Structure 1
C-alpha cells in the first residue's frame, strides 16, 4: 500500500466548481493526505520542516492546481523554492526524495485541443510542465504524466462529477499499487488509465 500527499494550491477556490468537486472526491480515499497550501500558509510563510516531514511520509506527491499563465499559482513556486533544499532534495547529499513519484493534477479553462503544438496555446500540457518534470528528475523522483481536467468553464455538472470520480479512482489505484509505472510513463495523461 502506498500513501499520497496532495499539495493543493488554488488562490480562489471559492470560484472553482471543478476543483471543489475534485477535493471532495479525495476526502474519502484512505492513505491520502490533503495539504491545502493557501489555507495553511496565507502569508506565504511556509513551514519547511513540516513540509519536508510530509514529503518523507508519502510515496506519491501530487501538485494539484489550476493552470495559471501556463504554469501553477505562485504558492507552488514558493513551496518549491523553500522546501526542495539543496543538500536535502537534490545535490550530492540531497537524497531524501529518491524514488518517490510526482505528478501534476491540473484544471484548465481551455479545451484539450487548445493545448496542441498546432493549437491556440502552441504547446502541449507536457511541454508546459517541463519545469516540474525537471524538478522531479533533479530530486531523483519519478515524474508521471498529469491528470488534467480541460475546459472547466464549459463543463456540465455530470461531466464535473465524472472527472471527480476518475480522480478518486486514480487516487485509489495509486494507494493500492495498481498503477504500472512503466506503462503510465508512456501515456500523455493519466486520465487515459481511467476511461469509463
Structure 2
C-alpha cells in the first residue's frame, strides 16, 4: 500500500528542505500521497473524518515537519489531537486504526546535529525531543519506525546536500 505523508509547514513555498522533500515525493504518486496540512486547512479547521479515512486508506504514515521551538508546528499538534481520537486511534471499544501501521517522522532542524546532545548547548538529543511522538504511536499500537532528520538548515546547506537528503529521505520511507 501507499505511504501517506502528512506535511506540516506554515510556509512550505519558502522552505529549502521540506519543499525539496515534497517535490521528490510528488514525483512518485503511485507510492506516496502528500497531504499538505497548511494548504488544505489554512484556517486550521481540520476535517477529522476525511483525515481518518485518508490514514485508513494507506499502509504507512509519515509525519513531516520542521522543528519549531523544539517541537512540531501547532497545526500538526492540532491534527494529532483531532484525528487520533478516542475510539479511532485508541480506546477500550475499538480504536485500533493505527494498530501495526508503520509510522515514522521526517524532520528538518535548524541547528547542527552536534548541538543536539546532552553535553551541548541545548542539552537534549533530537531522539529525546521527539519521544512524545514515539510514545503517541506506541500508545496507539502503531509500529513506530524512528525518524529521518536533516540538521543545520540555518547554515545554508548546498544544493547537493539538499538533493542528497531528498534521495536519502525516499530511501528511508521506502524501507519502513
CA-to-partner distance for each residue in 1:93-115, whole Å, 9 max, x for gaps?
Answer: 21121100111100011000011
Distance 2:175 2:141 in 1: 23
Within the alignment, does 1:21 sit opposite 2:13 as a pair?
no
CA-to-partner distance for each residue in 1:118-138, whole Å, 9 max, x for gaps?
Answer: 122111111101111111011
Distance 2:171 2:84 in 1: 29
Distance 1:170 1:129 in 2: 17
Distance 2:175 2:134 in 1: 22
CA-to-partner distance for each residue in 1:48-102, whole Å, 9 max, x for gaps?
Answer: 0110001111121111000001110001110011111111110112112110011
Within the alignment, does 1:31 sit opposite 2:31 as a pair?
yes
Residue matched to 1:49: 49
**Range moving further from structure 2, 94-103 or 63-72:** 94-103
Kept after mapping to 1: 8 A contact 2:134/2:146: no
Kept after mapping to 2: 8 A contact 1:103/1:145: yes
Name the structure where strand makes up a greater proportion of residues.
Answer: 2
Residue matched to 1:162: 164
Question: Secondary structure of 1:6's match?
Answer: strand
Distance 2:140 2:174 in 1: 25
- TM-score normalized with structure 1 length: 0.85
Distance 1:124 1:153 in 2: 18
- How far residue 23 of structure 1 moved from its aligned partner, in angstroms, is 0.9
Kept after mapping to 2: 8 A contact 1:25/1:167: no
Distance 1:159 1:9 in 2: 22
Q: 1:137 to 1:172 in 2, by over 3 A?
A: closer
**Range moving further from structure 2, 118-127 or 12-21:** 12-21
- TM-score normalized with structure 2 length: 0.94
- How far residue 173 of structure 1 moved from its aligned partner, in angstroms, is 3.5
Residue matched to 1:171: 173
Residue matched to 1:3: 2
- How far residue 38 of structure 1 moved from its aligned partner, in angstroms, is 0.5
CA-to-partner distance for each residue in 1:14-40, whole Å, 9 max, x for gaps?
Answer: 321121111111112232100000000
| Structure 1 unaligned residues grouped into runs of 5+ | 175-196
